[in-house]
Amino acid sequence: MRQTRTLPEVEVLIIGAGMAGGAIACTLAEAGVEVRCLEQGNWLPGGARPHGDRYYELERGTRWNTSPNIRRWPADYPIGSDAVEPLMLNQVGGSTAIYTAAWPRFRPTDFVKRDEHGLAPNWPLRYEDLDPFFTENDRAMGVSGFNGDPAFPPHHPYPNPPLPLGKRGNALAHACEQLGWHWWPFPMAVNSREYRGRAACNHCGACQSGCSIDALAGSHNTYWPRALAAGAQLRTNSRVIRIESDSLGRVTGATYVDTQTGERHFQPAHKTVVCGNGIGTPRLLLASASKRSPQGLANSSDQVGRNLMFHGLAIVEAWTTEILEPHKGVICAASYSAEFAETDPSRGFVNGFTLLACGMNGPGFQANGSHSGNIAPWGVDHHEWMETHLNRGFAILVQTEDLPNPENRVTLDPVLTDSDGMPAPFVHYRLDHNDERLLRYACERAHDLAVAAGAVEVHVNRFFDAQHRYRPPAWHLLGTARMGDDPATSVTDGEHRAWDAEDLYICDGSSLPTSGAVNPTSTIGAVALRCAVAILKHLGRAAPSWSGPREPSLPSE
């Protein structure tokens, strides 16, 4: 067995360099805290991406696939599942290095679902508590948006003007106007103009492989450069295999493998922050079981890994006679509708959904059915189909809020392991009956929208397989180490401290008690900044001096 070398203690150890890890590292380092981050992946330079390759569409389906099970890079770990295809990236920036940068906020009702309908918990904070952190996060990421969306409370202006609507964004807008529905330009963490040294978007449309010109913001090109400039240490190729704790239950640091040399190190820390995403975090906590914590670290409540939420997802695609150029501009999304975002009990279910005007990628992807399986016929009819369908349409992404269900969970796979022998996560997920009704209703409204947009052909992908099992691609990994006010039903308190593991913090998508009906990264980033301010408070350090409509603050102890 290899020897483990013990390194000098650091003040704060962060595990995972994604959205939350980057925001926390940056905030702490700029406040003068000694920070070290362990990241199992490496830097992913923009030029390494396939955007300049004529085979970019094939690459996106293989080497650059958003599923680690297909991509199979050295830093990836396999994910077992009986349900979904979880998507993530294990590199500096985490999944923000390959995501589409959709940037809506959660809404006020998302924080008080217990008060609203009782089928999900309240958060231990309110929208108003998070608002200044949303604002600071928007600034750090360079969000482009149109101010004044009536579907949200008034908030500080976005740092950049909105991105172009393009033909498909306008198509959704016109359709909503016909139906009398809300629509609005969608906020995106993509530069509509040069911002803080990063280029303006040139609308290449290939956001699903990240961004080769860094116009699209992730923590790798926003928070991490600042964190490193402020003295944070980032150790790449460093895969944490176990969080260590002493006999009293205090977390003392983490053991990791240098994946370049195979050497093992113990990194002691005064405080440890886990930011491994909604699947990686519960996996690591469960794999860190000990005699004192046989169910897994921070898991006396048996809540670690439970309440997994992905969002209900479907894609409705509209083909029109007009060329709508769905290969141009941000792929998700030019405009959106929040007409049905709030619960309306008369519909027969709780929670709501949003509809987003999304792209269809290039001709190879469109010939292969785009997002809805409308595949160009082979044989003599192929070219005629392409001539009448190519670029004539757009995709409507249906995104519904799913309820936290304790049976939807991440456990450790009994067979699969990563390349260092650590058990892989296993994901089980089923749609709740409420969520099935919600998704069906949302697809019907998306169909209405497609028709109002002038669709001559509509295809719906509900992501059900031949056995009628719901098997969606799962980007939004939420709820598996949720924060709360009650140690019996949550894993951390409202300031991200594990209830039963001293000096351990957990902050990423797993912290979110509800899923909202929108892409979650904006909220994960805001929550991470708030977590960093909490850590500063616990360390006796001053909060950062962000300017804004309200200074960030936390309740006093």
Partner 1 sequence: MDNDHWIVTLDAVADTLIPSRGPWPAPSDLAVAADLVARLRGEERLQLQESVERLRKDGFSTRNAPERTAMLAQLEENEPLRFDELRRLVYFGYYAQPVVTRVIRALGHDINESPQPLGYQLSPFSRAEGARAPQRRSRYIPTESVGSTLERGT
**Contact map string, positions 175 to 194, toward partner 1, x by CB under 8 A:** -xx--xxxxxx------x--
Site size toward partner 1 (CB under 8 A) is 85
Nearer to partner 1, 1 or 380 (CB): 380
Contact 94, 21 (CB under 8 A): yes
Q: Which of 391, 519, 521, 523 is the binder for partner 1 (CB under 8 A)?
A: 391
- CA dihedral over 276, 123, 269, 250, signed as positive or negative: negative
250, 382, 469, 550: which one binds partner 1 (CB under 8 A) = 382
**Judging by DSSP bridges, how do beta strands 264-274 and 251-258 pair with one another?**
antiparallel
| Choices 237-245, 299-307, 341-349, 534-542; region in contact with partner 1 by CB under 8 A | 341-349
292 belongs to the binding site for partner 1 (CB under 8 A): no
Of 22, 121, 142, 166, the one binding partner 1 by CB under 8 A: 166
Nearer to partner 1, 471 or 541 (CB): 471
Q: Distance between CA atoms of 70 and 191, rounded to whole angstroms? A: 30
Nearer of residues 391 and 511 to partner 1, judged by Cβ: 391
Q: Which of 139, 328, 459, 476 binds partner 1 (CB under 8 A)?
A: 328
Strand partners, 395: 317, 358
CB of 543 to partner 1, least distance (A): 23
Binder among 5, 250, 383, 469 for partner 1 (CB under 8 A)? 383
Nearest to 33 by CA among 528, 538, 501: 538
Of 163-171, 414-422, 434-442, 490-498, the window that binds partner 1 (rule: CB under 8 A) is 163-171
CA distance 398 to 439: 8
Element (H, E) at 282: helix 277-287
Half-sphere exposure (CA, 13 Å, Cβ side) for 282?
A: 32
Residue from 299, 343, 515, 519 that binds partner 1 (CB under 8 A)? 343
What is the rounded CA–CA span in Å between residue 185 and residue 162?
A: 7
Within residues 51-110, the interface with partner 1 by CB under 8 A covers 51-59, 61-63, 107-109
* Tokens standing for residue 228: 């490193």
Query: Which residue, among 80, 82, 51, 54, has the nearest Cα to 67 in the 3D structure?
Result: 80
Of 9, 11, 214, 342, the one binding partner 1 (CB under 8 A) is: 342
Nearer to partner 1, 63 or 430 (CB): 63
Q: How far apart are CA 359 and CA 356, in angstroms?
A: 10
Rounded Cα–Cα distance for residues 178 and 547 (Å): 41
Q: Smallest gap, in angstroms, from Cβ of residue 169 to partner 1? A: 8
Of 520, 543, 555, 554, give the one whose Cα is nearest residue 107: 520
Stretch that binds partner 1, among 50-58, 266-274, 516-524, 543-551 (CB under 8 A): 50-58
Using the rule CB under 8 A, which residue among 263, 344, 444, 485 binds partner 1? 344
Region 115-144 residues binding partner 1, contact defined as CB under 8 A: 115-118, 126-128
Name the region of 143 (left: φ>0; alpha: ψ -120 to 50; beta: rest).
Answer: beta
Nearer to partner 1 among residue 52 and residue 549 (C-beta): 52
Q: Count CB-CB contacts under 10 A for residue 538.
A: 16
Among 146, 448, 538, 543, binds partner 1 (CB under 8 A): 146
Asked if 276 is part of the footprint of partner 1 (rule: CB under 8 A), the reply reads no
Could you say which residues in the range 359-378 bind partner 1, by CB under 8 A?
A: 362-364, 367-368, 375-376, 378
Distance CA 323, CA 224 (A): 40
Of the candidate spans 172-180, 222-230, 241-249, 396-404, the one that interacts with partner 1 by CB under 8 A turns out to be 172-180
Contact between 350 and partner 1 per CB under 8 A: yes
Considering the rule CB under 8 A, would residue 540 count as an interface residue with partner 1? no
Look at strands 238-245 and 251-258 and give their pairing: antiparallel
The residue assigned the tokens 């990563």 is 418
Nearest distance, CB of residue 107 and partner 1, angstroms: 5
Residue pair 360/330 in contact by the 8 Å Cβ criterion: no
Residues 437-476 binding partner 1 (CB under 8 A) are none
Q: Which of residues 199-218 bind partner 1 (CB under 8 A)?
A: 201-206, 212-213
Of 474, 45, 53, nearest in space to 224 by CA: 45
Q: Work out which of 1, 8, 150, 294 binds partner 1, going by CB under 8 A.
A: 150
What is the closest distance, in whole angstroms, from the C-beta atom of residue 226 to partner 1 in the complex? 26
Q: Is residue 535 within 8 Å of 544, Cβ to Cβ?
A: no
* Residue from 320, 358, 555, 301 nearest 458 by CA: 320
Query: Does the footprint of partner 1 cover residue 329 (CB under 8 A)?
Result: yes
